[in-house]
Structure 1
Amino acid sequence: MIKFFRQIRQRLLSEGKTTKYLKYAIGEIILVVIGILIALQINNWNEKRKNSKLKNAYTESLIENLVMDSISISSIIGKINTDVRNIAKFEERVSNSQNPLDTILRIARYEYLFTIYINRNFLKDTYEVLNSTGHIGLFSNELVKKLKEVNSLQERAILDVSESVVSYRNVLINYSRKYPFSFRNNLIKDNTKAASEIWNNISKTEHATEFNSLIITKGYVYRLELLHYTKLQTKTNELLSQLREI
Structure 2
Amino acid sequence: MGKTKKYLAYAMGEIMLVVVGILIALQVNNWNEERKNENRKQRYLQSLVMDLENDLDEIDSLMNSAVLDTTRLGNLRKRISSPNAKLDTLIHIYRYELNPIITDAAKFKTTTFEAIEASGDINLFSAETIEKLTILNKLQQAHLDFSLQDLSQYKRSINVVIKKYPSPMYSGSMKIHSPMSQKVWNSIEAADFISDLNGLIIVKYLSNQLYLQRSEEIKKYTEKLLQELQKKSEAD
Query: TM-score, normalization: structure 2?
Result: 0.90
Q: Is 2:208 the counterpart of 1:208?
A: no
| Other-structure match for 1:84 | 70
Aligned residue pairs total: 232
The letter for the 1-side match of 2:154 is Y
Note the alpha carbon deviations across 1:14-35, whole angstroms, 9 max, x for none: x752332333233222212211
Pick from 116, 121, 124 the counterpart of residue 138 of structure 1.
Answer: 124
Matched residue SS, 1:115: coil
| Other-structure match for 2:220 | 234
Unaligned runs of 5+ in 1: 1-14
| Other-structure match for 2:92 | 106
Note the alpha carbon deviations across 1:70-94, whole angstroms, 9 max, x for none: 1111111100000111111112222
Q: Is 2:48 the counterpart of 1:25?
A: no
Q: Is 2:159 the counterpart of 1:167?
A: no
Matched residue SS, 1:177: helix
The answer to whether the 8 Å contact 2:59/2:106 transfers is: no
Matched residue SS, 1:202: coil
Task: Provide closer, same or farther for how the CA distance between residues 115 and 67 of structure 1 changes in structure 2, counting only shifts above 3 A.
Answer: same
Where relative contact order (Cα < 8 A, 6+ residues apart) is larger, the structure is 2
Q: Tell me by how many angstroms 1:239 deviates.
A: 1.6
Task: Provide closer, same or farther for how the CA distance between residues 109 and 76 of structure 1 changes in structure 2, counting only shifts above 3 A.
Answer: same
Unaligned runs of 5+ in 2: none
**Aligned partners of 1:182 and 1:25: how far apart in 2?**
96
Task: Provide closer, same or farther for how the CA distance between residues 187 and 158 of structure 1 changes in structure 2, counting only shifts above 3 A.
Answer: closer
Aligned-residue identity in percent: 35
Pick from 37, 62, 68 the counterpart of residue 54 of structure 2.
Answer: 68
The letter for the 2-side match of 1:109 is R
**Aligned partners of 2:32 and 2:167: how far apart in 1?**
66
RMSD, aligned CA: 1.9
**Aligned partners of 1:182 and 1:225: how far apart in 2?**
26
**Aligned partners of 2:9 and 2:217: how far apart in 1?**
71
Q: Tell me by how many angstroms 1:166 deviates.
A: 0.6
The answer to whether the 8 Å contact 1:154/1:232 transfers is: yes
Note the alpha carbon deviations across 1:63-119, whole angstroms, 9 max, x for none: 222221111111111000001111111122222232354432221122111110121
Task: Provide closer, same or farther for how the CA distance between residues 184 and 94 of structure 1 changes in structure 2, counting only shifts above 3 A.
Answer: closer
**Aligned partners of 2:14 and 2:207: how far apart in 1?**
77
Matched residue SS, 1:17: helix
**Aligned partners of 1:97 and 1:115: how far apart in 2?**
28
| Other-structure match for 1:116 | 102
Matched residue SS, 2:164: coil
| Other-structure match for 1:93 | 79
The answer to whether the 8 Å contact 1:105/1:204 transfers is: no
Task: Provide closer, same or farther for how the CA distance between residues 74 and 140 of structure 1 changes in structure 2, counting only shifts above 3 A.
Answer: same
Q: Whose radius of gyration is greater, 1 or 2? A: 1
**Aligned partners of 2:173 and 2:79: how far apart in 1?**
30
Q: Which segments of structure 1 move beyond 6 Å, counting only runs of 4 or more?
A: none
The letter for the 2-side match of 1:97 is P
Q: Tell me by how many angstroms 1:204 deviates.
A: 1.5
Query: TM-score, normalization: structure 1?
Result: 0.87
Q: Tell me by how many angstroms 1:208 deviates.
A: 0.9
| Other-structure match for 1:46 | 32
The letter for the 1-side match of 2:219 is Q
